[in-house]
Structures are given as C-alpha cells and as structure tokens.
Amino acid sequence: MALILALAVTSTSWQPAHASPAAGSGQAVPPPPKPEPIKVRQLPLPPVTPSIEAGSCTTENNPRGTGCIGQSPGLFSGNFLPDSRNIVATVLFTGAPAAPHPSSIYTGQQLILVRADGTTFPNGDAWKCVTCGIPPGNAPGPADAMDYPQAFGDGKRVLAGTNIIDCGPYKLADRACTPQRVRIYPIRWNTTADGSGPGGSIRELRLHPDDTHLGFSSMTVTGGRLDQFSYMGRLQFNPSPTTGTPLVPRYDLVKVSRLFDPNATQPVDVDPSDPGKLRFDPFVPSVGELRGFSADGREVTYVGYPAESSNIDVFAADLTTGKVRRLTADPEYVDPVDLSPDGKWTVVMDTRGTDRLSFLSAMRGVPGITDLLSASAISAARNNGKRRFFQPYLIDAYGDRGSYAGQRLNAAGDGSPGSINDPLWNGRADPKWSPDGTHIAYWQSLAVAPDCGGQNPLPCPVSTAPGGRTERLMIADLTSRPPQTREPVVPVSDTVPWGVPYEPGSAIPARTHLTQGTYTLDGKKSGSAEVTVTENSTRTAISTVAVTYQDYSDDGRYVINGTETMTLQNDTPFHNKIDWFSDLVRTDIGTGRVHATKRTSPDGFHLDITVGTNKFQATGTLTTTVDGHVYNQPANGT
C-alpha cells in the first residue's frame, strides 16, 4: 500500500479522545504540521510479456534473459533493506522457456530486490531475483506463498509468507548472494500437545524489529461468526525437527502469547459493580488484526474495536504496559499502517477523501455499541471485490485533529490515466518507511474486470504502465528530511503481561458476549443510552442490539438523541446480513443547532455482504448528514 506534494484534506471538526501520545497527559497538542515537499516515482519491475504461454518471454521482451512478468504480476511490495536503497518484493514470473534453457528458472512466485535509488545491479537490471533457480534441496519445505515480504535488520534474511529466505553470511543485495547460497525455511506454529501435525494456520505475519519475534493473526469461528485472535512468539531455528510437519529444517514459533485476555476488561462489558450498567472503553489492549510494530519494538499496531461507531481505526498498544493510543480517527476506513523510524509519524493506507464509508461513520461521538454486530460487514464494505479505494497518507504522531487529516502523499498530479494521483490506481498493503526515514515505498493496483466493465458502472481503465501492467511499485521521497541513523532495537521480552501464554493443544477461547437484557451506558459528560441486547436462539451470540440515546455526550460539546437498532444473521461465518434502523440527531450544546443526522429510510437499511468477496449489496438507504453535507451509500456492486 502507499503515499506527495500535499493536498490539504479537510474533515469534520472534532476532538478525538486518546488520539495522540499527549492525550490525557496534560501535554499540549501542537498545531498540525505544514505540508512538506514530496516527490513520488514509479520504480522499475521486470519486463512484461502479454502472454502466459511457455516461451513467450523472449529476448525481445528481455534481452538479458532474466525473466518476465505478466500484466497482472502478483506484486507484493515489502520494506527496505537496511541500506535504504533496495526494496524487497515478490512477483509472479511467467512465460519462461522450458528447461534446460537457462532462463527457465524465471517462473512462478519469486522474491526480488528492486533498486530504489535509480541505480542497477551489476547485470544492468534495476531488480535482482533472489530465489530464481534455488536448488530443490535448498527449499525442501512445502511451496507456500511468499506474500508480504519483510526484510530482517541484518539484510541477509527476508520473511515472505510463512517462510524465511536466508542467504547465510551474505547480504541479499551482494553479488555473492546467489540462488545456490539461498535457503528457504518454513515457519511452524505448534498447536498440538504432542507436537504432531502441520501446526496452526497463521496469517498477516509481521516481523518484530528485534529480528527475533513474530506477530501474526489466526482466524477462528465464535458462535457461528468469523473471529480472529492475534499472537506474538519467538522464532527459534530447528535444524532437525523430530515431531510435526514438515520434518525439514524450519523455524518454530515458541513462547507464544495470545494478545487477548478473555478475563480482562473488554471494550464493551458489564460494570462489575452494577450489572445493569455497561462500560465502553476501546482503549483496553485487545488486538484484533495485527498490523505490525513500532520501529523501536515497544508497541504492537493493530485494527482495534471502534472508538466511534462504524469507524474502523488502527491503534498501538505498549507490549509491556498495555497502554493504548489511537493512531487514526478519520471517519473513513484504514488498516495498513507503518510507524516511522523516529516514532514521530504514521503512514497509512486509508479511504479518507473518497467518502466510501462516511455514510456510516461521519456522525462523530457515537459509541461503538452496534459495532458488536457490524464490524466485520463494515470492514468488508471498504472494497468492491478487488477494486480498492485506499490512498496513502502521512500523519504526525498527534493524529487526526480539527481539520487536519494528514497529508496525502500522492496528491500532486492532474489525475489523468497513469498519473501519480490517478484515482483508479489504488493502494495495497503495506506502506513501508525506509530505515533512514527519507522514503516511503508502497504499491498500487488498477481496477480490472469483473470489478469494472460489463454490468459494473465503472468502465475498465486502460493501463499506461509498462507492458500494460495493472500493478505498480511506487516510492515517495520526503525531500526535505535529512537521513536518520536508526537506533539498535533492544530485544523484547517473550512475555506480554497483558496477554495470555499460549499452551499448545489448548482450546481457542470463546469471545464473551453480552447476555440478553437491558443496560444503561452513561455518557462521559452527560446523558445516557439505554441498550437492549437480544441473543440468538442458542444463546451463543448476540442477534440484535437496540440503543436509545437521551442527551448522550462524551465530549461535552454535542449531545446525541434518537434510536438505532441492528440485527445480524450469519448463515455462514463469512456471510453477513444486517437489518439496520437508525434515527439519530447530534446537536450542538451551546447553540442548539443540529450538527448531524444519521437516518435510514422508513423500511430500514439492509446490507448483504460476504467477507473476502466484499461486494456491496443493500436495499433501503442509510444517509448521514453533517453540517449540510450529505453522505450517501455507494451503489450496489461498486
């Protein structure tokens, strides 16, 4: 995913709680930074062959015989090597001639390095394939995908998918790092008491900057609904495993902690001193989907429980103390995030500026109560299939505030096809800082069928990238920033005090839910909300949440009145059918002026969406109006 000479982006005026390091500390929050000069460049990738047929990559396509990629090259951009001049990435090579032709090694998904400084490798290419031609004995494990590559701090290893790619004593960018010297080791998480079996399924792997620990997430199903927990463990090389598969040299995850404690306070729970009252605190450490770590390794970043209703944000939690801070607060959707080497900046991929989800979230200050049912569906609505709406933004450490919503890195340009800010080129995961703090790498994809063309109202654009590629690798140069020297990272403890040690073979905890009944949630400044919870027939999950607000206020500036009711049905864990009725009004306390409304049509708003497919389909309407600005839902299928 990704980030230019700035565009001042405005958002609804508001004052977020806990949005910055200074929140609650008495420290004054400084004014927003001025836009800075940023130059964005497209980086070179291997040449394109228009056909995937064997032998289609000829010397006309690539005179050096170092391989070709297709128009949809399966690009995954990663981070920088420690030198800040090489970026790790994976691409899908295609069209190679059959063996024993020397170019036959350039086939399938492979790890490459891409020069970010305009220079080339000794053979004249601006990229180097690290894994092409590895002898089979150097990669004896299963051929797992090598997505989301992340370089270790030693410059000799890369995490890619559930593999670690290792060039031994040689740096990956050195001439001496040849495929014959590269080894690929699988990663295994033991989930059985006797150590047998293939291990647990892990996703969204993120390397800790101490090069020793790994964060990851794992899907599960709770009460018939999709759920996810995140973990952190130590990478331990096992040269000769005797249990579990694969029985090849591998990295085992040991000393694993689940970054969630079912016995601790949850974002929405019952007040133990008064069972008729609810407490709402999204700043308890409860990691949803893990997104990475701060550069100093002290914090884990993650998608957290919404601090404001229907607003999906990223948070950071201190691995030792559990103190949580909110990194973003714009009403649009975000999940890709990377913190700068000096900890003073955040780069995100966000739908802000598109109004994609503002019809749900533009009314501020509504506590995340109906999100007990809607969070998965709202997350899925951020995309239209593979058509994304992310753009890269640079935000200072104090976060979104007032009219400041960060600086869009690729704002400069005329918006024409193929330009830096072409709206049909959209960001992917993850934007990454260079170790010296002067560059940000990101990657984008172009809308392609079936998420454009045909019956879709969006026409399919024609790619202007080399060879008609529909994916591109970009770099934002922060031209006014001097290079920094990155401080060594102190290895973190294997123990996360606010987490729970994972015991192999133990059951995945069932995430607790509110029991059926009626509760009161007091506003932090005034008023209250009456919350009625209805469970499903088996009492394994909540089916309906109904909320009535009466002069409810957490900020002392605005009050919320009205009602909101939501019912969720899941015939499969991934399929969400939501019936939503809303009639909310937000009023300025000082003037009595109506500031915002959030209303459904008389027959309600009915959303049908499948996580992973992410195709927006709804009947009825849900409309939010803020200071006269009307936010409407997207059309079905867009």
Q: Assess contact for 146 and 88: CB atoms under 8 A.
A: no
Distance CA 97, CA 61 (A): 13
Quick check: is 227 in a domain? yes
Distance CA 408, CA 38 (A): 10
Whether 13 shows a pLDDT value over 70: the answer reads no
Whether 22 shows a pLDDT value over 80: the answer reads no
Q: How many other CB atoms are found less than 10 A from the CB of residue 445? A: 21
What integer pLDDT is reported at residue 637 of this predicted model? 86
Whether 365 shows a pLDDT value over 60: the answer reads yes
What integer pLDDT is reported at residue 27 of this predicted model? 65
Distance between terminal CA atoms of the chain?
A: 21
Element housing 376 (H / E): helix 371-380
| Percent of the chain predicted with pLDDT > 70 | 96
What integer pLDDT is reported at residue 20 of this predicted model? 46
- Angle, alpha carbons 543-545-547 (nearest 5°): 170
pLDDT band at 84 (very low <50, low <70, confident <90, very high): very high
Q: Are residues 237 and 339 in the same domain?
A: yes
Whether 530 shows a pLDDT value over 60: the answer reads yes
Three-class SS state of 89: strand
Q: Are residues 583 and 457 in the same domain?
A: no
Q: Are residues 595 and 487 in the same domain?
A: no
pLDDT band at 610 (very low <50, low <70, confident <90, very high): very high
Three-class SS state of 607: strand
pLDDT band at 83 (very low <50, low <70, confident <90, very high): very high
- List, for residues 374-394, the tens digit of each pLDDT value: 999 999 999 999 899 999 999
Distance CA 608, CA 622 (A): 14
Q: Are residues 223 and 278 in the same domain?
A: yes
Q: Of the residues 501, 528, 560, which one is the last residue of a structural domain?
A: 501
Query: HSE on the CB side for 48, CA within 13 Å?
Result: 18
**15 vs 420, which has greater pLDDT?**
420
- List, for residues 450-473, the tens digit of each pLDDT value: 888 888 888 899 999 999 999 999
The residues pairing with 578 across neighbouring beta strands, listed in sequence order, are 568, 607
- List, for residues 428-456, the tens digit of each pLDDT value: 999 999 999 999 999 999 988 888 888 88
As a whole number, mean pLDDT of residues 9-30 equals 47
Quick check: is 5 in a domain? no
As a whole number, mean pLDDT of residues 615-631 equals 97
Q: Are residues 193 and 246 in the same domain?
A: yes
Which range among 397-406, 454-463, 482-491 shows the weakest confidence by mean pLDDT?
454-463
Domain count, the chain: 2
Element housing 361 (H / E): helix 358-361
Calculate the CA dihedral of residues 242, 246, 247, 253 and round it to 10 degrees. Answer: -50
In terms of Cα–Cα distance, which of 325, 320, 322, 321 is closest to 343? 325
pTM of the model: 0.94
- List, for residues 557-601, the tens digit of each pLDDT value: 999 999 999 999 999 999 999 999 999 999 999 999 999 999 999
The values of phi and psi at residue 428, to 5°, are -120, -175
What integer pLDDT is reported at residue 422 of this predicted model? 95
- List, for residues 251-282, the tens digit of each pLDDT value: 999 999 999 999 999 999 999 999 999 999 99
In terms of Cα–Cα distance, which of 622, 562, 147 is closest to 377? 622
Mean pLDDT of the chain: 93
Distance CA 285, CA 301 (A): 11
Distance CA 568, CA 510 (A): 19
What integer pLDDT is reported at residue 512 of this predicted model? 86
What integer pLDDT is reported at residue 64 of this predicted model? 96
Quick check: is 375 in a domain? no
Q: Of the residues 450, 467, 501, which one is the last residue of a structural domain?
A: 501
Q: Assess contact for 123 and 66: CB atoms under 8 A.
A: yes
Q: Any idea which residue has 């005026």 for tokens?
A: 13
**Cis previous bond, 100, omega within 30:** yes
Quick check: is 56 in a domain? yes
As a whole number, mean pLDDT of residues 161-169 equals 98
Query: HSE on the CB side for 139, CA within 13 Å?
Result: 24
What integer pLDDT is reported at residue 321 of this predicted model? 97
Q: Are residues 258 and 336 in the same domain?
A: yes
Element housing 329 (H / E): none
Quick check: is 367 in a domain? no
As a whole number, mean pLDDT of residues 319-344 equals 97
**CATH classification at residue 457:** 2.130.10
pLDDT band at 521 (very low <50, low <70, confident <90, very high): very high
What integer pLDDT is reported at residue 371 of this predicted model? 97
Domain containing 615: what range?
517-631
Q: Are residues 569 and 494 in the same domain?
A: no
Whether 250 shows a pLDDT value over 50: the answer reads yes
AA letter at 83: D
What integer pLDDT is reported at residue 232 of this predicted model? 98
What integer pLDDT is reported at residue 194 of this predicted model? 97
What integer pLDDT is reported at residue 160 of this predicted model? 98
DSSP code per residue over 442-483: EEEEE--TTSSSTTSSSPPPPP-SGGG-SEEEEEEEETTPPP
Whether 21 shows a pLDDT value over 50: the answer reads no
Whether 38 shows a pLDDT value over 60: the answer reads yes
Quick check: is 30 in a domain? no
Q: Are residues 69 and 120 in the same domain?
A: yes
Distance CA 81, CA 98 (A): 33
- List, for residues 281-325, the tens digit of each pLDDT value: 999 998 989 999 999 999 999 999 999 999 999 999 999 999 999
Element housing 605 (H / E): strand 605-610
Q: Are residues 202 and 314 in the same domain?
A: yes
Q: Are residues 103 and 189 in the same domain?
A: yes
In terms of Cα–Cα distance, which of 446, 444, 364, 434 is closest to 405? 364
Q: Of the residues 472, 501, 530, which one is the last residue of a structural domain?
A: 501
DSSP state of 245: S
Name the token pair of 412.
């400069």
pLDDT band at 224 (very low <50, low <70, confident <90, very high): confident
What integer pLDDT is reported at residue 4 of this predicted model? 26
Name the token pair of 432.
């990454």
DSSP code per residue over 496-561: -TTSEEPPTTPPPPPPP-PPSEEEEEE-SSEEEEEEEEEE-TTSSSEEEEEEEEEEEESSSSEEEE
Q: Are residues 453 and 526 in the same domain?
A: no
| Percent of the chain predicted with pLDDT > 90 | 89
Q: Are residues 334 and 471 in the same domain?
A: yes
Quick check: is 507 in a domain? no
